[in-house]
């Protein structure tokens, strides 16, 4: 179970008795097992001490946690939880940014004619330096700030 919970897959070699009944299960290290899909089904290649042993599907007990996209291997709970953690981090960054920059638009800047990209960037930088941040949130922009001139 530790292998399933940490890695998403656990393997055991099935040893059968003379009557075909399962007598033993020998755990296989998941690091040493590769699974391949063939026309006749799945095959499990197990390498130990440099010796490769090919086992057929009926010779292996394969436990999976949440079947992966390939339909063969399981996904570890840790890898599955990674997406949840990444989403939580993104939501946190968004929330911090929203509160840092204010939760409402403070105004719209209009200029006659068309601005060059460097002019737009200079205006945006100037506006952000004077109006962005939690201490400026909700304040009304006044017309007394110095404005960049473009020629």
pTM: 0.56
Domain of residue 28, CATH code: 2.30.30
Task: Quote the number of domains for the chain.
Answer: 2
Question: pLDDT for 31-60, tens place per residue?
Answer: 999 999 999 899 999 999 999 999 999 999
Tokens found for residue 62:
């394969």
3-state secondary structure of 17: coil
For residues 94, 97, 98, 100, the Cα torsion angle rounded to the nearest 10 degrees is 160
Q: Is the domain of 6 the same as that of 68? A: yes
CA distances from 9 to 6, 115, 136, 143 (A): 8, 58, 53, 65
| H helix and E strand count, the chain | 3, 6
Question: pLDDT for 51-88, tens place per residue?
Answer: 999 999 999 999 998 887 787 888 888 888 888 888 88
């Amino acid at each position: 179970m530790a292998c399933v919970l940490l890695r998403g897959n656990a393997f055991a070699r099935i040893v059968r008795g003379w009557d075909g009944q399962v007598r033993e299960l020998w755990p296989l290290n998941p690091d040493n097992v590769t699974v391949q899909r063939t026309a006749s089904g799945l095959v499990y290649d197990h390498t130990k001490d440099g010796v490769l042993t090919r086992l057929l599907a009926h010779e292996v007990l394969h436990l999976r946690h949440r079947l992966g996209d390939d339909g063969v291997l399981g996904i570890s709970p840790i890898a599955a939880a990674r997406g949840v953690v990444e989403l939580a981090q993104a939501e946190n960054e968004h929330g911090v940014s929203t509160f840092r920059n204010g939760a409402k638009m403070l105004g719209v800047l209009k200029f006659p004619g068309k601005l060059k990209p460097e002019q737009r960037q200079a205006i945006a930088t100037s506006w952000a330096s004077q109006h962005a941040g939690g201490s400026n949130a909700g304040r009304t922009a006044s017309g007394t700030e110095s404005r960049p001139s473009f020629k």
